Structure 1
Amino acid sequence: MSAVLRLLKIAPAPSSEAIIDLSGLPVDTSTDLWNLNYAGDKISLNFAHLPFRAEDLLSATKSYMRALIKSKAPKSVYNTFAALRLLSQSELFVEAERNGTEIPESFIAELQAKLGSKAYQLHHIRHWYRSGADRGYASFSPEVAFQLDQKVIGGNAKGHAVLSLDPEDGPLVDLEITALLNALNAQRRKNSLPLDCSAALWLCVALGCNPFQMTLLRERDIEIISEGNNRFINLRVPRVKKRHDAPRTAFKTRKLTSEIGDVVLNLIAENRQREALQGRTTGPDTPIFLRRTMRSHLEETMADYAWHMYPSEFTALVGDGVSRLGVISARTGEPLKVTTRRLRYTFATRLVREGASMEEVAEALDHTDLQNVRVYFDIKSDIVKSLDRAMALKLGPVAQAFLGNVVPNEADAERGGDPASRVMAVDRATGRPAGLGTCGEHSYCNLLAPIACYTCGQFQPWMDGPHDKILDDLIAQRERKQAAGMDGRMVTIHDATILAIGDVIRRIEEARAI
């Protein structure tokens, strides 16, 4: 094709005026650096980073990206832009761009071979090529565009971490989530964890939300409902991943337990106090997860989110909280690594274990497509099929189910002089009551003793208590349920207690060996 014909084929350059994005906000596209309107992070398209400088390719690409900005969410637009940078890995594309010739069909096959498992990103490049051909740009052939549409490009492999119960990236198994929840409950009594870390962890465990949703939360999203002597706390969680006009335009109301709700309310109170000391006022639009410093890079159109955390900062908050708790993974023997994604996986897998339907799981995760939740129904069970005395003694210390303190006898326990603090059990062989330990809680406790005591941080087992008999009895109950073919949830209902008692017995054995 002659240079004259090629020049005639180039479409007119689009207007350089600001365009309106999907959220109804302006985006300046008059330079090579476009800043998109996104509340979660700074997203920019820097055309100087693309692996081509040919005028018609840049013009075609900018035209396509303008169309995407009008119809797609900012992260989706950026994913396309990032995929275009992969073109530098195609020698066939680089040669065509250098020579000013049409981009050949074979460049996609070349990239497929080089990208391997990441070849799904070529979907973005295929759509970009088709757009260039449709608009009549010289480097794009309609015939090649047709051929590319016929090619099979695999999708992103989903669900591997979930299906394989990956110990680093997959959902937490029962022993790990038990250890995490026990550590969270223990710190709540001691106030040993920063409130923002505590609130972030509790909300992720209870709701399974993604970090962007959490960073969008504001004070006005929490609602306290009183009905007689009952008190309920609701949280309006902003919806994301939906084609809504802007952040915080649609919500789903989630119920919180009073304990988790109080953690969030305490965080709001702490934010207000800290801001007042710094001379700033707070109100209903103040973020619940409040940054210490203002996000200065935001465009004027996104100024309302200047004090909201980035999703990456929220994820770091969750990771920092788990590190402070010192939880050890029962599978790896190393400090437990937790991300918001892992807690979301865990939330979903536990829903399935509790008998939730596919529709119920999709609703809880705020998915509109059931195919995104099918993976949770294919996961292999993490239920410990056999849990005997030997395993309880081995896994007990690792599972961190026991949070109290072993004491030599009643006299050495806090509240040891108070007969009402004794935790008793009936010896099945003799029918006589036997002392197990002392409760250090000064307020009323409605937990079922002695089973619930072993996983309570206020319990002080005595070294001479008959803990082995309680352990043997629970293991025998577990074996009877399993032999009767009962549901796995019923079989494992006291596993945390079994592991806690195993930890108590092991500590007593070690103390006596000194």
Structure 2
Amino acid sequence: MSFFSASPHLEQLVADNDWAEIPEEFVTREGRLAKLIGDKWHLPCEHLDGNVNIHKYGSPILQWVVTKYMIHVAQVTSSIHSYNGVIEIYATLRHRDFFTKSLSCVDPELLKPALVEQFEILILRLKEERKLWRAYRPIRWYIWAAENYPELGFCELYASELDCMKIPGGPKGEAVRSQDPEQGPLHPHLEVSLIVDALRRDVGQEFEHYQQRAAVAISKTYGRNPANYIALREEDVFDLVDDPEEPEWAVKLPRIKKGFRSARSDFIVESLDDETCQHIRALIEQNEAFDSLVEVNGKLIPCARPLFRRLEPNHLRLQTGDYESAYHIYTAHYTKLLRDFAKRMGLESPLTQGRMILTARRFRYTVGTQYAAMGMSRKELAHRLDHTDLQHVQVYYDILDSMRYALDKAGVLVYSRFVHLYQGGGAIPLNYPVERDQLIVTDQHSQPGDVAALGGCGLDDLCHKHPPFSCYLCPKFRPYLSDIHEHILDVLIRQHNERPESQTLGVHRVDVILAVGQVVRMCQGGL
């Protein structure tokens, strides 16, 4: 790959210093092939296409040094670390059309002051925007270039100044700390309950519907990053006891935060709850309709069978010989599955009163806050979320004092507009004839020992759920047009706020509270 024609100075310096030429392909730290395809580099990242157009970097000298840095980082750290680095270099330094103007800087002596000036302006701008953390990657590139290629216009003295700067960490935990209603943790009662209900109601039969349900269920359960999930394969779902009669299903979740090695070089085994397992196994059954084969030089080569799969092989991966991962999706596709589920199921947030925003990061925040509230140790939480150290999980413990999700009657009645947890029929008058054996009663009335009728039951057999509370979640229930439901609501809200961790109803109490809220609104003429 030649950059020399536009810069004789660069050509001469490469020859004089006996610097290695830039290859058209190389092997990354993960053992995969990175290759120049057309006018773009393709870095074999697991969760995005990894395409880098090196010609965007202006001066032939900058193109050469950025390419050298890209190859170095990909070989010693990882492809994704390399890709993120060069993309951030371009995104932060392109201010004031720097790269276009640098095309005339074919002499390192002209480039040196221009680069220093651009970095000074960059740092000042990011300080004013309170985004100095974005300077980290371009600064590391400049320091590396000054250590290895000072002859190309990188000042060693200025690099020492940059190396002494204290760069703050990124604001990843800010959405958690502020409990942002659109980017932070999902409300465990008012939003997660709606998601669980939507999963139970969803009967979509298209292939993407199965993918959406599995993606939402597994994200809600484990709180990992999308890169963990897209590396999953069908073989990672297995029966721990190998007993067809009473299986105990588990999943091997690939790890991604361990020195930037390939995700499938290490796993954490997690048990599967019944509902998550149901959606994952349903997706595996749908996957059986598709082969995982690619044709290479007239021969069919078997590929891995990912859990979340593409219907057609990835041609970029085929061109670099990565046949095994040909049917694995990228994280952008996984994110789209979550977003499309919320749209298709009409999920609205009671908090924002707009479309609920579902992302793997929000599910991750939700799981983290829930584990912290349960008293899980920092070490165990870091392990569960696949973090490399304990520092990253501290944010979940910092906000425990503000995580008291109390409910009030007025709020429940507002939130109940957005839920569909009540499955019964319309309200019936108090004098409506109901057989005595079908009459539903409760003793939680205004005076101790009093018994009041809630409504009628359409079941022909004995109910094995937990009446009267489970009745509000049952399609056979017909509530009386009565203020008894309002009283039930008051009692349940008080119990919840006194002991939010207790769920002694036999059914999820918040689900019942929201369903009762719907019935109260119905009786008030609000439905």
**From 68, 71, 92, the counterpart of 1:66:** 71
SS at 1:449 equivalent: coil
Q: Would the alpha carbon gap of residues 113 and 457 (structure 1) be closer, same or farther in structure 2, given more than 3 Å must change?
A: farther
Matched, 1:461 2:469: no
Q: Does the Cα contact within 8 Å between 2:88 and 2:137 map onto a contact in 1?
A: yes
Q: Would the alpha carbon gap of residues 182 and 468 (structure 1) be closer, same or farther in structure 2, given more than 3 Å must change?
A: same
Deviation at 1:170, TM superposition (A): 1.2
Q: For the residues of structure 2 that align with 1:401 and 1:423, how far apart are their CA atoms? A: 19
> 2:147 maps to what in 1?
134
Q: For the residues of structure 2 that align with 1:315 and 1:234, how far apart are their CA atoms? A: 23
Matched, 1:125 2:138: yes
Matched, 1:381 2:402: yes
Q: Does the Cα contact within 8 Å between 1:14 and 1:63 map onto a contact in 2?
A: no
Q: For the residues of structure 2 that align with 1:130 and 1:361, how far apart are their CA atoms? A: 35
SS at 2:288 equivalent: helix
**From 11, 24, 32, the counterpart of 1:25:** 32
**From 356, 359, 362, the counterpart of 1:336:** 356
Q: Would the alpha carbon gap of residues 231 and 491 (structure 1) be closer, same or farther in structure 2, given more than 3 Å must change?
A: closer
Deviation at 1:417, TM superposition (A): 8.0
Q: For the residues of structure 1 that align with 2:246 and 2:509, how far apart are their CA atoms? A: 29
Q: For the residues of structure 2 that align with 1:126 and 1:32, how far apart are their CA atoms? A: 26
Q: Does the Cα contact within 8 Å between 1:358 and 1:374 map onto a contact in 2?
A: yes
Deviation at 1:292, TM superposition (A): 2.4
Q: Would the alpha carbon gap of residues 230 and 65 (structure 1) be closer, same or farther in structure 2, given more than 3 Å must change?
A: same
Q: Does the Cα contact within 8 Å between 2:430 and 2:481 map onto a contact in 1?
A: no
Deviation at 1:114, TM superposition (A): 2.8
Q: For the residues of structure 2 that align with 1:133 and 1:33, how far apart are their CA atoms? A: 25
> 2:520 maps to what in 1?
505
Q: Does the Cα contact within 8 Å between 1:83 and 1:124 map onto a contact in 2?
A: yes
Query: Once the two structures are aligned, what percentage of the paired residues are identical?
Result: 26
Structure 1, 337-346 or 242-251: larger mean CA deviation: 242-251
Superposition pairs for residues 41-80 of structure 1, below 5 Å? Answer: 41-54=48-61, 57-80=62-85
Q: Does the Cα contact within 8 Å between 2:59 and 2:105 map onto a contact in 1?
A: yes
Q: For the residues of structure 1 that align with 2:233 and 2:486, how far apart are their CA atoms? A: 50
SS at 1:22 equivalent: coil
Matched, 1:110 2:121: yes
> 2:296 maps to what in 1?
none
Deviation at 1:37, TM superposition (A): 1.5
SS at 2:353 equivalent: coil
| Deviation digits for residues 277-304 of structure 1 (CA, Å, limit 9, x no counterpart) | xxxx999931222222222222333222
Q: Would the alpha carbon gap of residues 62 and 260 (structure 1) be closer, same or farther in structure 2, given more than 3 Å must change?
A: closer
Q: For the residues of structure 2 that align with 1:70 and 1:444, how far apart are their CA atoms? A: 67
Superposition pairs for residues 263-274 of structure 1, below 5 Å? Answer: 263-273=279-289
Q: Does the Cα contact within 8 Å between 1:215 and 1:309 map onto a contact in 2?
A: yes
Amino acid paired to 2:19:
A
Deviation at 1:68, TM superposition (A): 0.9
Q: For the residues of structure 1 that align with 2:492 and 2:448, how far apart are their CA atoms? A: 18
Amino acid paired to 1:395:
Y
| Deviation digits for residues 136-194 of structure 1 (CA, Å, limit 9, x no counterpart) | 44212222221221223333223121111112211111311122222222336x87992
Q: Would the alpha carbon gap of residues 511 and 100 (structure 1) be closer, same or farther in structure 2, given more than 3 Å must change?
A: closer
Structure 1, 24-33 or 122-131: larger mean CA deviation: 24-33
Structure 1, 392-401 or 196-205: larger mean CA deviation: 392-401
Q: For the residues of structure 2 that align with 1:4 and 1:325, how far apart are their CA atoms? A: 61
Equivalent pairs counted in the alignment come to 492
| Deviation digits for residues 238-265 of structure 1 (CA, Å, limit 9, x no counterpart) | 1113226434121111111122212211
Deviation at 1:372, TM superposition (A): 1.2
Q: Does the Cα contact within 8 Å between 2:55 and 2:63 map onto a contact in 1?
A: no
Q: Does the Cα contact within 8 Å between 1:392 and 1:502 map onto a contact in 2?
A: yes
**From 65, 82, 87, the counterpart of 1:82:** 87
**From 346, 349, 354, the counterpart of 2:366:** 346
Q: Would the alpha carbon gap of residues 246 and 477 (structure 1) be closer, same or farther in structure 2, given more than 3 Å must change?
A: closer
Amino acid paired to 1:463:
Y
Amino acid paired to 2:255:
R
Structure 1, 141-150 or 232-241: larger mean CA deviation: 141-150
Q: For the residues of structure 1 that align with 2:347 and 2:59, how far apart are their CA atoms? A: 49
**From 450, 454, 464, the counterpart of 2:468:** 450
Deviation at 1:326, TM superposition (A): 1.6
Matched, 1:405 2:425: yes
Q: For the residues of structure 2 that align with 1:21 and 1:45, how far apart are their CA atoms? A: 15
Structure 1, 214-223 or 427-436: larger mean CA deviation: 427-436
Q: For the residues of structure 1 that align with 2:118 and 2:467, how far apart are their CA atoms? A: 70
Q: For the residues of structure 2 that align with 1:444 and 1:208, how far apart are their CA atoms? A: 39
Q: For the residues of structure 2 that align with 1:198 and 1:509, how far apart are their CA atoms? A: 35
Q: Does the Cα contact within 8 Å between 2:70 and 2:83 map onto a contact in 1?
A: no
**From 166, 171, 184, the counterpart of 1:157:** 171
Q: Does the Cα contact within 8 Å between 1:238 and 1:249 map onto a contact in 2?
A: yes
Q: For the residues of structure 1 that align with 2:64 and 2:123, how far apart are their CA atoms? A: 26
Q: For the residues of structure 2 that align with 1:253 and 1:398, how far apart are their CA atoms? A: 36
| Deviation digits for residues 479-513 of structure 1 (CA, Å, limit 9, x no counterpart) | 6x3xxxx6x5349983442232121111122179x
| Deviation digits for residues 306-358 of structure 1 (CA, Å, limit 9, x no counterpart) | 22222111111111112222222111111212112111111111222222222
> 2:316 maps to what in 1?
297
SS at 2:167 equivalent: coil
Superposition pairs for residues 183-202 of structure 1, below 5 Å? Answer: 183-187=198-202, 194-202=209-217
Q: Would the alpha carbon gap of residues 120 and 445 (structure 1) be closer, same or farther in structure 2, given more than 3 Å must change?
A: farther
Unaligned runs of 5+ in 2: 1-7, 293-299
TM-score (norm 2): 0.81
Unaligned runs of 5+ in 1: none
Q: Would the alpha carbon gap of residues 351 and 191 (structure 1) be closer, same or farther in structure 2, given more than 3 Å must change?
A: farther
Matched, 1:285 2:301: no
SS at 1:254 equivalent: strand
> 2:226 maps to what in 1?
211
Q: Does the Cα contact within 8 Å between 1:50 and 1:84 map onto a contact in 2?
A: no
Amino acid paired to 1:38:
C
Q: For the residues of structure 2 that align with 1:363 and 1:26, how far apart are their CA atoms? A: 31
Q: RMSD value over aligned CA atoms?
A: 3.7
Q: For the residues of structure 1 that align with 2:281 and 2:98, how far apart are their CA atoms? A: 59
TM-score (norm 1): 0.83
Q: Would the alpha carbon gap of residues 33 and 11 (structure 1) be closer, same or farther in structure 2, given more than 3 Å must change?
A: farther
Deviation at 1:201, TM superposition (A): 0.9
> 2:297 maps to what in 1?
none
Q: Would the alpha carbon gap of residues 392 and 231 (structure 1) be closer, same or farther in structure 2, given more than 3 Å must change?
A: same
